[in-house]
Structure 1
């Protein structure tokens, strides 16, 4: 698709993202694009079941598929676009918007329209996460188990809080009640055991509304960045939380950083309770306890072309 050709766009909008921010975002942007002569189609959906058919229709007419919503919406769209060799674009309108942050997507309408009309597609990586007895899930940003998955659960119940406070409050509440996870991790066949507060398997640098959890991560390097934060006291973890926002936590002695292409993870809380797993703000159930049948996360290099 040439940058000089007039592009068509198929907006897939989650109307509930960001407390209703998505419709407010897409209306002026669609208008700005139509004023350039672009064809723009807008579809609203809250169900991932609708996404495959919407993407297939858009790609068939050579339209750029534009995900308008949060990171969870993006992940549901990105895999379908990748499977059909389409072109993807991202308009941030969710609570976290971490993958858009990683891509450097602007927030004002004029700049977004300029990116959509002028940027050249570039290939980026995606993750493939497989839980035992479940279908493989395509993920854009990261998969995580432990205290951060618990924080994501708290965020989902914190709509009464202002948006800027939801993630910080959830992080502190999750840390205040966390339990260590006894886990087994393998990265490209190298097995290690940990007693961890959390394990993050990342494609993108950011999660949790701007936390630079994997500061060295790049979305086009063909590698997973694995961050293990070893168990510590609740107070120590809460005190170190600000370091996650600028990535300086990676230098702490209780943080292990690994890279690879295939990661497996299994484990339980100390005391044998199940550990929650999440991906881009969406719950993935519980971490498998059996090392012989673990959670598997793999990188899919250059999986999808994106305008950014």
Structure 2
């Protein structure tokens, strides 16, 4: 029977992450599986716990949102270890992309009896991040700025902080000049954002890259060109269906390695974590992660 180690960050997911694990833990243990729970102090500590459990040949479960699960499960890339995700965050965008069930009984069945699938991972490299694994996407522009505002909000929490942060970022936005290099080919653009996607979803279920697949060995690059704020809000609304890609102001590219540079200091985000500034390089690690999905 399988042996699991679940890594939870109580400070990131609050009581919600631990609560999401309780019914699943009961089902796993009732089936005879072993389950240990580790509480991390930070994303870095979560990564250490994941690697430690993997070294004991245990299946590692990341319990939380995209940031925590990306750091926990992403740490297993290239190790041969097996990982799983227990969605317990605000967005759960990567879990959505790989079709993970939300019901505890169905998720338990998958974790107990499912076969690991070879899954692509993004490797992020910058002045701050040295080959950091990311599961979903890297984005640099008004979206990263909105995320930064939300994360530093003292008055608002949850979805409200992101709506307020997004409005503040858009209203204060000025055109950014990007240099986007995709597999050696340079593209100069002015726009609102550049998104490098492994997963098709980001930002609470928005289909930023509808054709992205986590097992094709490629990254989808979505560039939203500079336009009026009114048109930008229309594009943002179309992210729910993925229809934005049909607009002439939206450009899509594909490649294995993408470098994003800008003509001014601009933050980039990676699965909801924004603590760094461009330039950044993202490259795909094809099939590097064994994921129960």
Q: Distance in 2 between matches of 1:66 and 1:160?
A: 32
2:77 counterpart SS class: helix
Q: Distance in 2 between matches of 1:141 and 1:74?
A: 10
Residue in structure 1 matched with residue 105 of structure 2 by the alignment: 110
Q: 1:52: Cα distance to partner?
A: 4.3
2:75 counterpart SS class: helix
Residue in structure 2 matched with residue 208 of structure 1 by the alignment: 203
Residue in structure 2 matched with residue 174 of structure 1 by the alignment: 169
Q: 1:67: Cα distance to partner?
A: 0.2
Q: 1:133: Cα distance to partner?
A: 6.5
Q: Judging changes above 3 Å, is the alpha-carbon distance between structure 1 residues 111 and 164 closer, same or farther for their aligned structure 2 residues? A: farther
Number of matched residues? 293
Please point out which of 19, 26, 34 is paired with 1:24.
19
Q: Judging changes above 3 Å, is the alpha-carbon distance between structure 1 residues 159 and 218 closer, same or farther for their aligned structure 2 residues? A: farther
Q: Judging changes above 3 Å, is the alpha-carbon distance between structure 1 residues 245 and 183 closer, same or farther for their aligned structure 2 residues? A: same
Residue in structure 2 matched with residue 221 of structure 1 by the alignment: 216
Q: 1:54: Cα distance to partner?
A: 2.0
Q: Distance in 1 between matches of 2:160 and 2:99?
A: 23
1:250 counterpart SS class: helix
Q: Does 1:278 align with 2:263?
A: no
Q: Judging changes above 3 Å, is the alpha-carbon distance between structure 1 residues 47 and 123 closer, same or farther for their aligned structure 2 residues? A: same
Q: Distance in 2 between matches of 1:159 and 1:43?
A: 29
Indicate the larger mover: 176-185 or 218-227: 176-185
Q: Distance in 2 between matches of 1:48 and 1:164?
A: 22
Q: Does 1:301 align with 2:286?
A: yes
Q: 1:192: Cα distance to partner?
A: 1.1
Contact in 2 for aligned 1:229/1:256 (Cα 8 Å): yes
Q: 1:153: Cα distance to partner?
A: 1.1
Contact in 1 for aligned 2:115/2:292 (Cα 8 Å): yes
Please point out which of 74, 77, 81 is paired with 1:82.
77
Unpaired runs of 5+ in structure 2?
A: none
Q: Distance in 2 between matches of 1:40 and 1:134?
A: 31
Unpaired runs of 5+ in structure 1?
A: 1-5, 289-294
1:46 counterpart SS class: coil
Q: 1:284: Cα distance to partner?
A: 4.0
Report the aligned-residue RMSD: 1.8
Q: Deviations over 1:242-266 (max 9, x none)?
A: 1011110011000000000011111
Residue in structure 2 matched with residue 70 of structure 1 by the alignment: 65
Residue in structure 2 matched with residue 95 of structure 1 by the alignment: 90
Residue pairs, 1:85-164, within 5 angstroms: 85-132=80-127, 134-158=129-153, 161=156, 163-164=158-159
Q: Does 1:187 align with 2:182?
A: yes
